[in-house]
Amino acid sequence: MTSLAWKVNRLKLMGLPEIAWRVRQLLQKKAGKWGFGLVARVRPPALGRCGPALLAGDSAGIDRSALLAAADTILAGRWNVFALRGVELGFPPQWNRDPKTGTLPPMGLGKAIDYRSERVVGDIKYLWEPSRHLELVTLAQAWHVSGEQCYADGARILLQSWFDQCPYPQGVHWTSSLELAVRLLNWAFAWELLGGAASPLFTGADGQRFQRQWLDSIYQHCHFIRGYFSRHSSANNHLFGEYMGLFVASLVWPCWPESARWQAVSKRGLEVEALKQNTADGVNKEQAIYYQHEVMDMMLLCHVVGQAHGVAFVPAYLQRLEKLADFLAALLDAGGHMPMTGDADDAQMVRLAHEAGWSPYRSLLASCALLFGRADFKRKAGALDDKTRWLFGHAGQQCWDGLVPSGAEQPVTAFPEGGYYLLGQHFGAAGEVRLVVDCAPLGYLSIAAHGHADALAFTLSLGGEEFLIDPGTYAYHTQKAWRDYFRSTAAHNTVCVDHQDQSEIGGNFMWLRKANARLLAHQPCDSEQCFEGEHDGYQRLPDPVIHRRQIKFDTKRNTIVVKDILQCRDTHHVALHWQLAESCRTEINDAVVRVLGQRSELQLRCALGSGAELLRGSEAPIGGWISRKFDEKTAIDTLRWQGTVHGTTEIVTELRLLVDTMPDAG
């Protein structure tokens, strides 16, 4: 898509107030080229105002060997940046060089750089990720637990090189307020772990100069964020993260007259956006489960930092966080798998855990178990992870030990405002059936940036083993064909009409005409459970189509019958896709398709067209792929039935579930 086409589409989704605001932002950027609105000189900081510790943990019980191994790898110059694992970037790295493509972006005013242009910056995600400074926290943790000077020295070298290579306000690391905010968060944790204002790193004249340079940059970060909040149709998780960074910085470093104002603005902003961006029944409105995790993590970290400094949020803030945890607990299956609905970018706000098999979802549930005294969250979390240990310390361990789950798991099965519904049985047990239906809006605000065209799709796991999956995300700013595929209707377990997506793509993070889904019926409790919903995404076709889907689960016979009703007058091409987990093996035998998992089995029958086709790792057409991590993809089996319908038609798919009930399913 050309830059002009993107701008035209973007304008279509703006109202007059947003256009006026963006014109002001543009003028502000132009003025910045001449120094207007920039920080000319930072006042000397009043370090005596620095507050108490924000970490409760004393590192007791953590996986020390995993932490030190991670720190040693960083000192050796080997980095993990998305699909690049152990890549040799050196220590310190070249902060302004894209580690994936080798591109060196220009060093002009950051706000004037077109970070969306692959030609100009390479893959901006790869450029930004190291400069979030999660690795700085790792080095600080390693020094904190071991006392070995090499880790503290490494932290100083890392920071000093960043100050030297990324001067305010030049280059790509001074373009996005969210990136600055996440960097501030990691600086706050590193600052404390290294000893705060009294750190040995700050002794002597050189140490004092280094401390002042760090504090000057902190002020510049805060000033930048305050001047460039994401507003209007961009006021999603970015705005929440910007408030997070400003809030944490204003508490950890209340060193300037502006700090109190920054704290007041950001605290109020967090309280408002926590309720605005998340539904009352616990679903983040971006309709992207990984982003729900990110927003929850921001809420949790802000609460922990605020509590340490005697600053409390309004009660509704934590109440909403608990509801968000209910949603995660409902979707997490007995094997610990979470549907990958919507976009995901693998971001962590701060990396405090290094143990193998760490799960961001289980970690959040562990923290929420302690926050809210919820033994059911403890059961879903499974264990107390290192991140939660750092945040809650010895008191957290005592609270954890006192939580005793009892009875069977009873998840919330309906999130009517958020748009998700569960069917299933034996939740949390070896014979679990967990089916999650997406009957939600496409996404948040006018651009719906992180939503996928997946209305009425569902995921299915049996005995804690994934069978029908959401394939994930894979790409963001680059590789447009793949970006479009992974969020397309054909990549999800639903019906595609006339080779079109339910909603119309307008850009990498933009949708134009959007499908509206609505619930017609949901009965999750009887022996014959049901869901029924419909969407209007294909009403834009010359011959409009309404897609209605009925799902009936017979708990006694362990069968699911899916009826897809297409209401139309004319002739249409229809394709029905089923995305299968990579651990599944597929056998097509005449009218029956057997999907063999490691323990259980799924059998499918459908009369549409001439029978089932199998796509696996196909590039023409693209199909049969899953992306578990950002910028990584693996071939999977995708089943496709396709054919032509004439007028209103009902397509029936029968699924027979053969669930292994051995107790090792979880």
523 and 594 part of one domain: yes
For residue range 520-579, list pLDDT tens digits in order.
999 999 899 999 999 999 999 999 999 999 999 999 999 999 999 999 999 999 999 999
615 found inside a domain:
yes
Quickly count: other Cβ atoms within 10 Å of residue 310's Cβ. Answer: 9
Evaluate if residue 666 carries a pLDDT over 70.
no
365 is written with which tokens?
A: 């549930």
Which are the contacts of 539, defined by CB distance < 8 A and separation ≥ 6? 545, 546
602 and 453 part of one domain: yes
Evaluate if residue 665 carries a pLDDT over 60.
no
For residue range 623-648, list pLDDT tens digits in order.
999 999 999 999 999 999 999 999 99
Q: How far apart are CA 336 and CA 366, in angstroms?
A: 13
Q: Do residues 252 and 188 make contact, with C-beta atoms less than 8 angstroms apart?
A: yes
115 and 31 part of one domain: no
18 and 71 part of one domain: no
Q: How far apart are CA 130 and CA 98, in angstroms?
A: 10
Q: At which of 197, 212, 228 does a domain end?
A: 228
For residue range 79-96, list pLDDT tens digits in order.
999 999 999 999 999 999
Of 524, 523, 504, the C-alpha closest to 514 is 504
**Helix 177-193 crosses helix 134-146 at what angle (to 10 degrees)?**
0
651 found inside a domain:
yes
Q: What are phi and psi of 481, to 5 degrees?
A: -60, -40
17 and 153 part of one domain: no
439 and 497 part of one domain: yes
Mean pLDDT of the chain: 95
Q: How far apart are CA 252 and CA 215, in angstroms?
A: 11
616 found inside a domain:
yes
Q: What is the CATH number of the domain that holds 466?
A: 2.70.98.70
For residue 663, the model assigns a pLDDT of 54
222 found inside a domain:
yes
- The residues with which 595 forms a beta bridge, in sequence order, are 586, 602
Of 226, 366, 385, the C-alpha closest to 296 is 366
22 and 118 part of one domain: no
656 vs 24: which has the higher pLDDT: 656
Helix (H, G, I), strand (E, B) or coil at 330: helix
For residue range 149-161, list pLDDT tens digits in order.
999 999 999 999 9
Q: At which of 168, 199, 228 does a domain end?
A: 228
71 and 200 part of one domain: yes
51 found inside a domain:
no
23 and 72 part of one domain: no
What is the count of structural domains for the chain?
Answer: 3
Of 165, 176, 171, the C-alpha closest to 113 is 171
Q: Degrees (nearest 5) of the Cα angle 290, 294, 299?
A: 145
99 and 22 part of one domain: no
Q: How far apart are CA 317 and CA 309, in angstroms?
A: 17
364 found inside a domain:
no
Which are the contacts of 247, defined by CB distance < 8 A and separation ≥ 6? 262, 263, 266, 267, 270, 302, 305, 306
580 and 442 part of one domain: yes
Q: At which of 177, 197, 228 does a domain end?
A: 228
Q: Do residues 472 and 626 make contact, with C-beta atoms less than 8 angstroms apart?
A: yes
Q: Do residues 62 and 391 make contact, with C-beta atoms less than 8 angstroms apart?
A: no
262 is written with which tokens?
A: 């920054």
Helix (H, G, I), strand (E, B) or coil at 558: coil
Expressed as residue numbers, the domain containing 210 is: 63-228
Q: What are phi and psi of 23, to 5 degrees?
A: -65, -45
Mean pLDDT of 254-270: 97
Quickly count: other Cβ atoms within 10 Å of residue 267's Cβ. Answer: 22
54 found inside a domain:
no
- For the entire predicted model, the pTM comes to 0.96
The residue to which tokens 């460039």 are assigned: 228
Q: Which helix (H) or strand (E) holds 513?
A: none
533 and 575 part of one domain: yes
451 found inside a domain:
yes
Q: Degrees (nearest 5) of the Cα angle 662, 664, 665?
A: 80
